[in-house]
Amino acid sequence: MKRVFLCFVICAMCAMQSGCVIAALGVAAAGVSTTVSAMDDEVSHSYPYPYWCVYRATHVALNEMSIPIDSIERTTEGDKFFATTKKYPVIVTLQEVTPSLVNVSVSAGNNVFQLDAATGNAIVEGVEEVIRRSLTAGLYAP
């Protein structure tokens, strides 16, 4: 619906204005599209395990990937891990949805325009791997 409206506005502007205005609108639309695309690079995954299990797995996964944890901040919803890679900061947010469901969101990058989904995916997969190994070793029984 938004695209149809945007096309209608651009067509109306074409009939009334010179090419410079249309070019400016096109550049602005491309900028908005880039911003929305970049904001989608935050990675999120939910785990059907108790909070303490996902918390420990996150801690171990970051250590195993040699991503040093700078600090951990307790929030009302859960915890935030602040870490740093060689290139940019990483924020891992844990939110307890239910006593047996935890959502993990990873934001890696300098700002909204420079987010790295690959690092986020690697961290999420690392947490999952640590949980899998813990289950295999019998350290946690669901």
Contact 131, 64 (CB under 8 A): no
What was the pLDDT predicted at 29? 45
Write down how long the chain is.
Answer: 142
Rounded Cα distance between 138 and 73, Å, is: 30
Return the axis-axis angle of helices 2-16 and 19-39, rounded to nearest 10°: 160
pTM for this prediction: 0.67
What was the pLDDT predicted at 16? 57
pLDDT digit of tens for each residue in the chain (142 aa)? 445 445 555 655 555 555 554 444 444 444 433 333 444 578 999 999 999 999 999 999 999 999 999 999 999 989 999 999 888 899 999 999 999 999 999 998 876 566 778 889 999 999 999 999 988 887 666 6
Contact 121, 41 (CB under 8 A): no
